[in-house]
C-alpha cells in the first residue's frame, strides 16, 4: 500500500519534468510547424498561447529600432534589472517573472500587431512601455477592447490619461495607466520656473509634431493661469531629424526673447545645442528651458550646456531615500552611467505589476486593473499614487539647473526644484483653459 503510494508519487515526480520538456519540444515544434504551415495556408491547426501556470509574463513595448531607439535601449536596462532582481529574490508570489520585449517601431500599425501578438500568442498578463504619444493614443482604445492593463512609462501626452469625452482628443480609459509625469505636469513645473525668472518674452523651438505643439499650448496656458507676466512671441517647429537648425535658430534670435522653452529631444537636441552654441544663442538668450532634456543628455554624453534649466521625470538624487540611492547605485554598477527617467519608469512598472499581483494574489487582467486603480506605490521616484479618475501617477515636476558633476562624470540637475503637480494644483492653474489636466 505504502509502496504503491510511493510509486505513484515517483511517477508524478517523474511526469512533471517529462511533461515540461515535451511541452518545450512541442512549442518549438509548433513554431516550426507554424512557419511551414503558413506557407501552405493551413495555420488553422496551430495552438494558441502557452498557458504555463508557473510564470508571470509581461510584455514590454518600446521603440528599439531607428531614430528613437535610444529610448528603448534605456528602458530595456531598467526592466531587465527589475526582472533580474525579482527573479533572484523568489519571483512574484513564487512564480518566475518573464519579460518579453517587442519593437513598436514607433508606428501604430506595428505597435498594435505586437500588442495583439503578446496578448494572444505569448499570453502575457500585463503590458507596459510606449514611447510615442501618437502610438499610445492609438493603443489606448485597443487595450480597453482586449481588456489588458497597460502601464505607460514614457509617452507623455495628457490626453492619454484624460477620460474619454473630457476633450475631443481624450482617450483615457480604465485599462491605461501612466507611472511617470505627463507633459502637463512637466509644463506646470516649467511655468513655475518661468515665474521665478526675470524674463518677459518667451519663445519655443520644438519638434514638428503633437508633442512640440502641446508643450507650447500647456506652457502658455499654465503661465497665464499662474499669472506669470509673460508675452509669447515666436514659435518654430523644425521637423524630426533636421540636420540644419540655422533658419529656426535665426528666427528665434531675431525675435529676441528673454527665455525659450524647447522640448527637442534625441539626436535633434544634440544637433540643435551645438548649432545654437555656434550661433551665439546662449549669449543672446538669458534662459533656455530644456523640457525632458535629461532623458537625452545622459545617453548622448552630456550635450546640455551648464547653467541652463532642464526638467526630468525622475532624478537619481531626489528624493534622497534609501530606495532611490539603492537603485542609483545598482544601476551605476551595472551600466556605468546614471539612470535616465526612461530606465526608471520601466524598472518601476515591473515592480508595480509585482505589487499588484502580490496584493490580489491573481494575474487576472481585471484584478490587476482594480489593483492599479488608486494604487499607492513607492519607488526610486518617491511615494506617489495613481489618481483614481485618470490613472495618472501623481508625481512632481522636477526642474533644475544643468551642472557637471565630477564624481558621476556626467551632467546632473543642481540645484533642483521639485514642484508638487497633483490634480488640485493643475486644475487651479488651468482654470479658464480648455486643456485637460490629465491628472
Partner 1 sequence: MSGDEDGTRTGLAAFGSAAVTDGWTRERISLLVAIGLVAMAFAPSFQVYLFTEFLIIALFALGFNLLYGYTGLLSFGHGLFFAGGSYGVAIVLRDLGPVIADVVGSGIAPVVTFALAMVIAVMIVVVVAIPVGWLSVRLEEIYFALITLAFGMLGFSFILQNPGGITNGTDGILVLLGSVEIGGMDVRLGDRQLYYFLTLGIVASATYTIWRIVNSPFGAVCKAIRESPDRAAALGIDVTHHRWMTFILSALFVGIAGALMAGLASVASPYHAHWTNSATAVVATVIGGATFFAGPIVGAFIYLYVRWGISRFPALEAHWELFFGALLIAVVLYFKIGAVGGLLLLRERLFGAETSTDGGGETE
Per rule CB under 8 A, is residue 113 in the interface with partner 1?
yes
DSSP letter (8 states) at residue 301: T
DSSP letter (8 states) at residue 257: -
Q: Which of 15, 31, 241, 404 binds partner 1 (CB under 8 A)?
A: 31
Closest alpha carbon to 318 in 341, 342, 286, 348: 341
Per rule CB under 8 A, is residue 220 in the interface with partner 1?
no
Cβ 112 to partner 1 shortest distance, Å: 5
Q: How many CB atoms lie within 10 A of CB 88?
A: 8
Per rule CB under 8 A, is residue 213 in the interface with partner 1?
yes
Q: Which of 9, 21, 47, 409 binds partner 1 (CB under 8 A)?
A: 47
Q: What is the CA radius of gyration of the chain?
A: 24
Per rule CB under 8 A, is residue 182 in the interface with partner 1?
no
Cβ-based nearer residue to partner 1, 164 or 418: 164
Cβ 197 to partner 1 shortest distance, Å: 30
d(CA 269, CA 292): 10
Q: Which of 58, 143, 171, 430 binds partner 1 (CB under 8 A)?
A: 171
β-sheet with 96-103: strand ranges across = 96-103, 55-62, 126-129, 150-152, 176-178
Using the contact rule CB under 8 A, the part of the chain among 7-15, 34-42, 362-370, 407-415 near partner 1 is: 34-42
Task: Please report the DSSP string for 340-400 in residue order.
Answer: PHHHHHHHHHHHHHHHHHHHHT---HHHHHHHHTT-EEEETTEEEEB-TTT-BB---EEEE
Q: What are phi and psi of 126, to 5 degrees?
A: -165, 160
Hey, which residues between 114 and 133 contact partner 1 (CB under 8 A)?
A: 114, 116-117, 120-121, 133
Cβ 137 to partner 1 shortest distance, Å: 5
Closest alpha carbon to 264 in 189, 188, 207: 207
Per rule CB under 8 A, is residue 48 in the interface with partner 1?
yes
Q: Which of 43, 274, 358, 383 binds partner 1 (CB under 8 A)?
A: 43
Q: How many CB atoms lie within 10 A of CB 220?
A: 21
Q: Which of 57, 95, 97, 102 binds partner 1 (CB under 8 A)?
A: 102
d(CA 206, CA 240): 9
Per rule CB under 8 A, is residue 251 in the interface with partner 1?
no
Using the contact rule CB under 8 A, the part of the chain among 204-212, 246-254, 345-353, 400-408 near partner 1 is: 204-212
Cβ-based nearer residue to partner 1, 235 or 323: 235
Q: Which of 9, 23, 84, 109 binds partner 1 (CB under 8 A)?
A: 109
Q: Please return the burial class of 38, using the count of CB atoms within 10 Å of its CB with bins 0-12, 13-18 and 19+.
A: exposed
Closest alpha carbon to 203 in 294, 281, 132: 281
Cβ-based nearer residue to partner 1, 64 or 272: 64
Cβ-based nearer residue to partner 1, 171 or 264: 171
Cβ 183 to partner 1 shortest distance, Å: 13
Cβ-based nearer residue to partner 1, 113 or 385: 113
Cβ 129 to partner 1 shortest distance, Å: 14
Beta bridge partners of 392: 178
CB 289 within 8 Å of CB 261:
yes
Cβ 128 to partner 1 shortest distance, Å: 16
Q: Which spans of this chain sit near partner 1 (rule: CB under 8 A)? A: 31, 34-35, 38-48, 64-65, 100-103, 107-109, 112-114, 116-117, 120-121, 133-134, 137-138, 141-142, 157, 169, 171, 208-211, 213
Amino acid at each position: 500500500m505504502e509502496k504503491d503510494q510511493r510509486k505513484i508519487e515517483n511517477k508524478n515526480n517523474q511526469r512533471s519534468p517529462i511533461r515540461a520538456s515535451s511541452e518545450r519540444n512541442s512549442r518549438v515544434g509548433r513554431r516550426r510547424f507554424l512557419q511551414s504551415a503558413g506557407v501552405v495556408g493551413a495555420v488553422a491547426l496551430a495552438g494558441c498561447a502557452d498557458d504555463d501556470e508557473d510564470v508571470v509574463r509581461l510584455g514590454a513595448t518600446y521603440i528599439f529600432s531607428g531614430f528613437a531607439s535610444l529610448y528603448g535601449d534605456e528602458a530595456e536596462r531598467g526592466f531587465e534589472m527589475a526582472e533580474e532582481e525579482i527573479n533572484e529574490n523568489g519571483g512574484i508570489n513564487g512564480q518566475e517573472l518573464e519579460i518579453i520585449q517587442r519593437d513598436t517601431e514607433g508606428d501604430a500599425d506595428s505597435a498594435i500587431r505586437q500588442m495583439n501578438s503578446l496578448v494572444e500568442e505569448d499570453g502575457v498578463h500585463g503590458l507596459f512601455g510606449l514611447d510615442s504619444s501618437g502610438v499610445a493614443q492609438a493603443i489606448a482604445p485597443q487595450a480597453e477592447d482586449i481588456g489588458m492593463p497597460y502601464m505607460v512609462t514614457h509617452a507623455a501626452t495628457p490626453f492619454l490619461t484624460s477620460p474619454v469625452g473630457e476633450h475631443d482628443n481624450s482617450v483615457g480609459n480604465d485599462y491605461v495607466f501612466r507611472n511617470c509625469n505627463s507633459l502637463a505636469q512637466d509644463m506646470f513645473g516649467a511655468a513655475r520656473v518661468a515665474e521665478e525668472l526675470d524674463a518677459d518674452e518667451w519663445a519655443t523651438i520644438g519638434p514638428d509634431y503633437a508633442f512640440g505643439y502641446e508643450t507650447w499650448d500647456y506652457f502658455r496656458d499654465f503661465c497665464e493661469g499662474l499669472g506669470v507676466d509673460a508675452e509669447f512671441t515666436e514659435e518654430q517647429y523644425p521637423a524630426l531629424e533636421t540636420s540644419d537648425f540655422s533658419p529656426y535658430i535665426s528666427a528665434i534670435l531675431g525675435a529676441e526673447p528673454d527665455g525659450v522653452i524647447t522640448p527637442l529631444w534625441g539626436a535633434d537636441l544634440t544637433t540643435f545645442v551645438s548649432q545654437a552654441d555656434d550661433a551665439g544663442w546662449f549669449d543672446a538668450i538669458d534662459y533656455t528651458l530644456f523640457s525632458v532634456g535629461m532623458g537625452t543628455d545622459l545617453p548622448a554624453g552630456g550635450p546640455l550646456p551648464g547653467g541652463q534649466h532642464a526638467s526630468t521625470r525622475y532624478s537619481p538624487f531626489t528624493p534622497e531615500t534609501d530606495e532611490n540611492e539603492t537603485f542609483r547605485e545598482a544601476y551605476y554598477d551595472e551600466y556605468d552611467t546614471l539612470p535616465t527617467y526612461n530606465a526608471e519608469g520601466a524598472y518601476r512598472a515591473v515592480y508595480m505589476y509585482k505589487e499588484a499581483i502580490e496584493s490580489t494574489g491573481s494575474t487576472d487582467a481585471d484584478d490587476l486593473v482594480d489593483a492599479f486603480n488608486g494604487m499607492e506605490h513607492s519607488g526610486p521616484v518617491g511615494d506617489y499614487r495613481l489618481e483614481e479618475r485618470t490613472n495618472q501617477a501623481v508625481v512632481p515636476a522636477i526642474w533644475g539647473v544643468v551642472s557637471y558633476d565630477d564624481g558621476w562624470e556626467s551632467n546632473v540637475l543642481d540645484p533642483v526644484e521639485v514642484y508638487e503637480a497633483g490634480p488640485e494644483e493643475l486644475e487651479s492653474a488651468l482654470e479658464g483653459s480648455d486643456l485637460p489636466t490629465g491628472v
